[in-house]
Structure formats: structure tokens, C-alpha cells
Amino acid sequence: MSATLAALVADLAAGRLRVVDLTQPLGPATPVIELPPIFGASPPYSEEVISRYDAQGPGWYWKTIHLGEHTGTHFDAPVHWVTGKDLPNNTTDTIPVERFIGPACVIDVTAECVLDPDYLLEPEHILAWEATHGRIPAGAWVLLQTGWSKRSDPAEFFNADENGPHTPGFSKAASELLAYERDILGVGVETVGTDAGQAGGFDPPFPNHTIMHGAGKFGLASLTNLDQLPPTGAIVIAAPLKIVDGSGSPVRVLAITE
């Protein structure tokens, strides 16, 4: 075994490294994004039991599940957005698997989001974070820590009024900086999607999806436990199901950290 892998095994066994689950539970209560009614809707998660040690299967338990690709803690592939539709290896089954693993850069804007639920990360905030923690490396997962995963009530999670949802996200310029100048793997958020709640009205609409996926980058939505990670130093593993021609997938996101 390589020294690196041997050290990983030893450090995990000794508790010098630990695995943090960045994933929300997936079930009928999982909140699903709501779009204006003119658009197609992603269904809520549903399930039925095939057998549970009964006449349908006396020795075994299993279920059928029904859900959209973008349900709960999930992965957005570049093909999810029209800007990424013609890129090579843009689907869940064709993305090179090395790209599912990368160092985490956690940008904590929780305090800002308490004051402003429509908070947008701007380039100046990224540069200020880098002045303290160092430049975001190529191939990093950039995780926006907003505290939003603490909102267990769906009404508070979506935080919608007559003008639509009010949840934080990234400005167009911040998305461009991360995609083009830092060459990250993608962004991860605690909210239901990688764009801000009001982003349907931005120019362009949904700028994070538009820019990230157009640049072949990924998204991770509905993350939790980001407050258990250091700003730098953790590694994130986020591997979607190998759905053929998949636009995304529910995913178990794990972080390995000191």
C-alpha cells in the first residue's frame, strides 16, 4: 500500500482524521425546489415497500423509490444547464471520476445571511477570504456556508413571499471568478439550489448555473454540517450515481477532515 493510503487508514482508525457527513436525510419530507407553474415540476420523493419479511418476500426488505434527479442533497452535472449541453463528459455517467474528489474551501457568510437572506457572494468577499486563507486552488470544491441547513421548517428553508424565495447565493461576477480564474470543480451550498432564491430575475437568469455549467463545473445543493469543516484542509468526496445521460443525482457527500 502507498504511504499516503496507509497513513489515511491509520489516521482514520486513530481518529486523527474524521469523516463528516455533509448530506441531508432523503425521504418523503425532503424539500424539493418549486418553479413557477409554467415550468415542469420535480416530484416530491415517494416510495413503496416491495417486501418487508412478509408474503412478498419472507426473508428480505426492499423498496421502490421515485424522485427527481435533483432531490435533496444532490449533484448538478454540466448537462443540467443549456450552457453545458454540448460539453464533453458532461453527464453523471461520463464525468471522469477523479473530478468527484477535491479540497474544500469553506466560505462562511452565516452572519451576513442572518442580516440579509438575499445575500450574494461577490468577488471582493472571495478575495478577502483568500487574503486570510490563501488562494483557492484549481480543482477545489468551494462551499458557501450560510447556516441555511439549520432551517428544518420547509417554509423557513424556502423563505418565500409574494416575490418568490429569498435565499443566498453567488453573484454573476463571483461565479465567473470561481469558474474562469480559479478553475474550481464546482460550488456547494446549503440551500435548495446553487443560485440565490431571487436569481430567476438576474441577468443572466440563474447566473451560477449558467456560468458554472457552461464552464464544465459542478454544483452541490442542500449540503449540511459545513460548520464542522475548517476553512481549508478538508477533502470532499461527492460522487453521483452513474445514471446514463444523467443531469444530476442524489449524492452522499463526505468530507475527510482533521
Q: Which is nearer to Mn ion, 70 or 172 (CB)?
A: 70
Q: Which residue is nearest to Mn ion (CB)?
A: 70
209 is catalytic: no
Instruction: Return the bridge partners of 46, or none.
Output: 66
β-pairing, 186-189 vs 218-221, is parallel
Closest approach, Cβ 69 to Mn ion, in A, equals: 8
Cα–Cα distances in Å, from 25 out to 79, 143, 156, 199, 250? 25, 19, 17, 26, 11
- Per-residue b or e along 102-119, where b marks 16 or more CB atoms closer than 10 Å to that residue's CB: bbbbbbbbbebbeeebeb
Q: Which residues bind Mn ion (CB under 5 A)?
A: 70, 76
CB-based contacts of 10, cutoff 8 Å, min separation 6: 16
Closest approach, Cβ 221 to Mn ion, in A, equals: 5
CA–CA gap between residue 212 and residue 80 (Å, rounded)? 11
Catalytic residue among 80, 125, 209, 213: 80
Closest approach, Cβ 50 to Mn ion, in A, equals: 28
CA–CA gap between residue 147 and residue 226 (Å, rounded)? 8
Q: Which is nearer to Mn ion, 117 or 186 (CB)?
A: 186
What grid cell was written down for 189?
451550498
Closest approach, Cβ 186 to Mn ion, in A, equals: 11
Q: Which is nearer to Mn ion, 63 or 242 (CB)?
A: 242
Q: Which is nearer to Mn ion, 136 or 189 (CB)?
A: 189
Task: Report the run of H or E that residue 123 belongs to, with start and end.
Answer: helix 123-133
Catalytic residue positions, numbered: 80
